[in-house]
């Protein structure tokens, strides 16, 4: 009977204590009152037996003395003149008080620690509005965040909310470590499953302006991992729609790794949902960069929010033609027209009349500086011009290394190269999969001589035996199919240093062949630029720029589709000799625009000075969208940055 009663009391007490801090506080308070009552009873008993020990006028003063002793043992001095029995009761009261209040202090400390821990966990609902969502965390998250911070500089109050299956404090620590100043952007991180409607509601997804859904694995992961990542991304899109009562109003940019997943996304038929095949774009940029020195710098500036950007802008055009409009913007260079029917036309004819409701596609420093003037702000000066074409010849391309971007690069080269041109691919110990991929490319492009050579570019003698400077272009890719950013960039740097030694030993100008390399970590940019490489693209940085821009303006995707392929208009850096009969020539930027229009109505976006082509502090000689009345002297070797139909 007694054992059962004790078990029942223990069970009920455990249930009560499991309710948390409130139950613990109540228990400590009850214990304190019980001990106070016990101490009062003991003191009353002592006084009843030894009344001569009473030094107070009433018993209530004894109760008060006991309370003071329990709350502060230093008050035991009130019983200095009392008898020994009362002194003992005072000591017992003090000890009981110390024990109970120690327990109470420990409870308060633990509760505060728990409260702070809960705050760091970020379990509260996000109350932001108009925020950009970054859903999932991978190696591109911080770069995307940097781009969004730059994009939000013109806003007095902006916010970015990150939701990922990662501890909030870890995300907060990494953000504060690598991003010193978030400027006008508030960054809020929350832990949670991105494909759960409850979690998306917790971050107020329905009140956001855009969402960027990142992959949960890298492009080099297994097929199964990619399928899991893509499936989660699709579920996240459905969850976002669920938060908005089934109708999507967000600009959603999603990273999908498999072609089948991108086809599935097309069934949504939502113009606000954009998916980019990042490796496809990088492969195209890599090839275009190899054919036009300096193009990587141009793309890095146009795709970033830190420099010139692409915008759509509507105005009262007053019947101006596209050719005339080039001189009506103090800041900005028109590149195309989005017609009122939604059709985008990049580099339209100069005589195309701007209609009411048309939007101009313009590259400008900032959207706040775009201001269409009813009258032209400058008039170009006429310079002698004679149409010239550059003859296209057979080319030899050398690709050092292999991974997924290489097959895209070979496919793109096939669109540019003349029949009989050659592409030699050098791989150290290629796998059977790589052999089959290269053999398939050779069979698919019989007009090109595509060959595989087994050699180690990291070995000086083997690299020298390749005679790299006999090729028109040298493209350096990852030397390991299972690459990681730090290892890949380190090996790339070694190859560049070896090439520099080969050029120095053979007394060859290292810039005789265009050397193009892909680096993965933007932190290595300064190291790579010291090797006199012609151009390099920063893969992760370019991808993050694209994602960030699409989250702000989904319609930019149509421009990427146009300028990142061989068909249609593309950006080139062309020799100034094609535009001017006499060099050097001193002129204004608006004069360059006028001369470029004479050559198949090309649009001049800027220029590159060869004298600064290797100087990072001068943006490698590239200047985009300068003031239209800015004067500059062009010499042989300088180039104009133009939007044109072809490279010749």
Asked if residue 368 is part of any domain, the answer here is: no
Count of helices and strands (H, E) across the chain: 20, 22
CB-CB contact of 286 with 258 (8 Å): no
606, burial (CB in 10 Å: exposed 0-12, middle 13-18, buried 19+): buried
Residue 334 lies in a domain: no
CB 476 within 8 A of CB 516: yes
> What pLDDT, on the 0 to 100 scale, is given for residue 77?
60
Give the 3-state secondary structure of residue 320. coil
Instruction: Indicate if the pLDDT at residue 307 is higher than 60.
Output: yes
Domain boundary among 226, 243, 275: 275
Alpha-carbon distance 475 to 406, whole Å? 9
Q: What gap in Å lies between CA 616 and CA 169, rounded to an integer? A: 36
Find which of 540-544, 549-553, 563-567 is predicted with most confidence, using mean pLDDT. 549-553
Strands 359-364 and 309-314, by their bridges, are antiparallel
pLDDT at 43: 75
Q: What is the pLDDT of residue 377?
A: 94
Regarding whether 170 and 107 lie in a shared domain, the answer is no
Beta strands 570-575 and 535-538 are unpaired
pLDDT for 116 equals: 62
**Closest residue by Cα to residue 217 from 233, 203, 205, 236:** 233
Q: Three-state SS for 507?
A: coil
Contact 285, 299 (CB under 8 A): yes
Lowest mean pLDDT among 67-81, 189-203, 515-529, 587-601: 67-81
Q: How many CB atoms lie within 10 A of CB 425?
A: 25
Per-residue confidence (pLDDT) for residue 531, from 0 to 100: 59
107 and 136 together in one domain: no
Digit-coded pLDDT (tens) for 132-184: 999 999 888 998 999 899 888 878 889 999 999 998 888 988 998 889 889 99
Name the domain count of the chain. Answer: 4
- What pLDDT does 447 receive? 92
Answer whether residue 15 shows pLDDT above 70: no
At residue 615, does pLDDT exceed 60?
yes
Q: Tell me how far CA of residue 607 lies from CA of 622, 637, 643, in angstroms.
A: 6, 11, 12
Q: Which tops the pLDDT comparison, 121 or 353?
A: 353
Q: Is the pLDDT of residue 536 over 70?
A: no
**In terms of domains, do 156 and 221 share one?**
yes
Contacts of 600 (CB under 8 A, 6+ apart): 644, 645
- Identify whether residues 527 and 401 lie together within a single domain: yes
pLDDT at 99: 77
Do 154 and 208 fall into the same domain?
yes
Cα 208 to Cα 194: distance, rounded to the nearest angstrom = 15
Instruction: Tell me if 566 sits within 8 A of 288, measured CB to CB.
Output: no
Helix (H, G, I), strand (E, B) or coil at 207: helix
Q: How far apart are the C-alpha atoms of 457 and 476, rounded to whole Å? A: 9
The residue-averaged pLDDT of 415-422 equals: 89
165 and 270 assigned to the same domain: yes
* DSSP letters spanning 253-291: EE---SHHHHHHHHTT--TTEEE--HHHHHHHHHHHHHH
Whether 538 has a pLDDT exceeding 70, the answer reads: no
Which among 275, 304, 337 is the end of a domain? 275
Give the pLDDT mean for 446-466: 93
In terms of domains, do 401 and 516 share one?
A: yes
Alpha-helical runs (H) found in 304-369: 322-325
pLDDT (mean) for 242-251: 87
Strands 585-588 and 359-364: unpaired
Position 161 in a domain: yes
Average pLDDT over residues 123-140: 89
Q: Are residues 224 and 147 in the same domain?
A: yes
Q: Which residues contact 225 (CB under 8 A, 6 or more apart)?
A: 217
pLDDT at 79 over 70: no
**Are 285 and 564 within 8 A, CB to CB?**
yes
Tokens (6 digits) for 575: 């020799």
DSSP β-ladder status, 132-135 and 158-164: parallel
- Residue-range definition of the domain harbouring residue 238: 132-275
Q: Which of 641, 576, 525, 59 is closest to 293 using CA atoms?
A: 641
DSSP 112-135: HHHHHHHHHHT-SPP--SSPEEEE
- Answer whether residue 108 is part of any domain: yes
Does some domain include residue 146? yes
Whether this prediction's pTM lies above 0.85 is answered by: no
| Plot region of 401 (φ>0 → left; ψ -120 to 50 → alpha; else → beta) | left
What confidence tens digit (pLDDT) does each residue in 58-75 have? 777 777 777 777 776 666
Is residue 379 in some structural domain?
A: no
Handedness of CA 478, 480, 483, 485 (dihedral sign): negative
Average pLDDT over residues 108-121: 66
Sorting pLDDT into bands at 50, 70 and 90, what band is 76? low
Per DSSP, the residues of 352-402 read: PBPPTT-EEEEEES-GGG----SS-S--PPP-------PPP---EEEEES-
Average pLDDT across the chain, whole number: 84
CA distance 387 to 604: 16
Q: Is residue 332 part of a domain?
A: no
* Residue-level pLDDT at 506: 82
Evaluate whether residue 337 is within a structural domain.
no
| pLDDT confidence band for 483 (50 / 70 / 90) | low
- What CATH number did the domain enclosing 113 receive? 1.10.287
Of 75-79, 227-231, 240-244, 561-565, the poorest mean pLDDT is in 75-79
Most confident of 49-53, 121-125, 371-375, 535-539: 371-375
Reply yes or no on whether the pLDDT at 450 is more than 90: yes
**Boundary-marking domain end, from 121, 144, 171:** 121
Reading the block at residue 74, the tokens are 């230093």
201 and 88 within one domain: no
Q: Report pLDDT digits (tens) over 379-403.
A: 999 998 888 877 778 899 999 988 7
Specify the CATH number for the domain of residue 229. 3.40.50.720
Per DSSP, 426 falls in state E
Contact 624, 641 (CB under 8 A): yes
Pair (143, 89) in one structural domain: no
Is the pLDDT at 532 greater than 60? The verdict is no
Residues 420 and 500 in one domain: yes
The sign of the dihedral angle between the CA atoms of 426, 428, 434, 435 is: positive
User: Edge to edge, what strands does the sheet with 333-338 contain?
Assistant: 309-314, 359-364, 333-338, 344-346
- Which residue reads 């059709």 in tokens? 343
| 201 in Cβ contact with 243 (< 8 Å) | yes
Task: Return the structure tokens found at 90.
Answer: 């005072």
| Residue 318: CB atoms within 10 Å | 11
In angstroms, how far is CA 150 from the centroid of its own chain? 11
pLDDT confidence of 292, banded at 50, 70, 90? confident
Tokens representing residue 315 in the block: 């105005």
Query: Is the pLDDT reported for residue 259 higher than 80?
Result: yes
Q: Angle 303-304-306 (CA atoms, 0-180°, nearest 5)?
A: 145
Helix residue ranges, H only, 84-222: 84-121, 141-151, 168-178, 197-202
Give residue 220's pLDDT: 72
Q: What confidence tier does 421 reach under pLDDT thresholds 50, 70, 90?
A: very high
Q: Which CA distances in Å does 395 have to 442, 455, 505? A: 16, 22, 25
Clarify whether residues 600 and 620 are in a common domain.
yes
Q: What is the pLDDT of residue 74?
A: 63
Residue 305's nearest CA partner among 148, 474, 410, 459 is 148
Which are the contacts of 460, defined by CB distance < 8 A and separation ≥ 6?
Answer: 498, 501, 502
18-32, 121-135, 534-548, 630-644 — most confident range: 630-644
């Amino acid at each position: 009977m007694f054992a059962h009663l004790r078990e029942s009391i223990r069970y009920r007490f455990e249930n009560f204590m499991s309710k948390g801090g409130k139950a613990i506080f109540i228990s400590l308070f009850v214990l304190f009152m019980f001990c106070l009552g016990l101490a009062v009873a003991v003191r009353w008993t002592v006084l009843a037996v030894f009344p001569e020990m009473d030094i107070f006028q009433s018993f209530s003063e004894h109760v008060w003395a006991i309370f003071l002793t329990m709350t502060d043992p230093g008050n035991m001095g009130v019983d200095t003149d009392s008898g020994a029995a009362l002194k003992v009761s005072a000591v017992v009261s003090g000890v009981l008080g110390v024990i109970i209040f120690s327990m109470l202090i420990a409870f308060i400390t633990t509760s505060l620690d728990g409260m702070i821990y809960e705050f760091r966990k970020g379990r509260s609902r996000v109350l932001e509005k108009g925020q950009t969502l970054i859903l999932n965390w991978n190696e591109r998250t911080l770069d995307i965040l940097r781009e969004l911070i730059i994009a939000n500089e013109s806003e007095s109050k902006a916010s970015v909310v990150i939701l990922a299956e990662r501890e909030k404090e870890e995300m907060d620590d990494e953000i504060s470590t690598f991003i010193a100043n978030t400027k006008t952007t508030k960054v809020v991180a929350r832990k949670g499953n991105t494909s759960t409607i409850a979690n998306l509601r917790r971050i107020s997804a329905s009140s956001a302006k855009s969402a960027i859904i990142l992959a949960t694995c890298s492009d080099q992961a297994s097929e199964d991992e990619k399928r899991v990542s893509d499936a989660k991304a699709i579920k996240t899109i459905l969850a976002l729609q669920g938060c908005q009562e089934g109708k999507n109003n967000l600009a959603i940019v999603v990273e999908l790794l498999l072609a089948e997943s991108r086809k599935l996304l097309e069934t949504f038929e939502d113009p606000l949902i954009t998916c980019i095949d990042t490796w496809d774009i990088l492969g195209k940029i890599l090839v275009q960069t190899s054919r036009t020195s300096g193009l990587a710098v141009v793309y890095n500036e146009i795709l970033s929010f830190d420099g010139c950007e692409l915008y759509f802008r509507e105005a009262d055009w007053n019947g101006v033609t596209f050719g005339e409009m080039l001189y009506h913007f103090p800041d900005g260079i028109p590149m195309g027209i989005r017609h009122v029917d939604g059709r985008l036309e990049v580099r339209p004819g100069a005589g195309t009349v701007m209609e009411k409701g048309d939007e101009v596609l313009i590259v400008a420093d900032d959207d706040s500086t775009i201001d269409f003037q009813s009258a032209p702000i400058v008039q170009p000066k006429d310079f002698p011009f004679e149409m010239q074409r550059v003859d296209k010849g057979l080319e030899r391309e050398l690709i050092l290394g292999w991974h997924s971007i290489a097959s895209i690069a070979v496919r793109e080269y096939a669109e540019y190269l003349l029949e009989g041109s050659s592409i030699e691919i050098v791989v150290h110990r290629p796998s059977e999969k790589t052999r089959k991929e290269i053999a398939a490319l050779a069979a698919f492009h019989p007009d090109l001589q595509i060959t595989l050579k087994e050699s180690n570019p990291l070995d000086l003698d083997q690299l020298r035996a390749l005679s790299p400077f006999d090729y028109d272009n040298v493209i350096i890719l990852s030397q390991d199919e299972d690459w990681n950013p730090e290892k890949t960039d380190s090996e790339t740097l070694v190859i560049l240093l070896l090439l520099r030694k080969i050029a120095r030993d053979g007394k060859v100008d290292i810039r005789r062949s265009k050397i193009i390399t892909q680096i993965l970590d933007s932190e290595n940019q300064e190291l790579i630029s010291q090797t006199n490489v012609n151009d390099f693209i920063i893969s992760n940085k370019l991808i993050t720029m694209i994602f960030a821009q699409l989250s702000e303006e989904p319609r930019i995707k149509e421009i990427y589709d146009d300028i990142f392929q061989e068909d249609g208009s593309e950006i080139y850096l062309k020799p100034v000799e094609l535009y001017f009969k006499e060099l050097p020539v001193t002129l204004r930027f608006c004069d360059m625009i006028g001369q470029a229009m004479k050559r198949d109505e090309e649009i001049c976006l800027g220029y590159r000075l060869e004298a600064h082509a290797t100087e990072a502090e001068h943006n490698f000689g590239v200047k985009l969208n300068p003031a239209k009345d800015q004067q500059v002297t062009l010499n042989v070797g300088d180039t104009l940055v133009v939007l044109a139909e072809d490279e010749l």
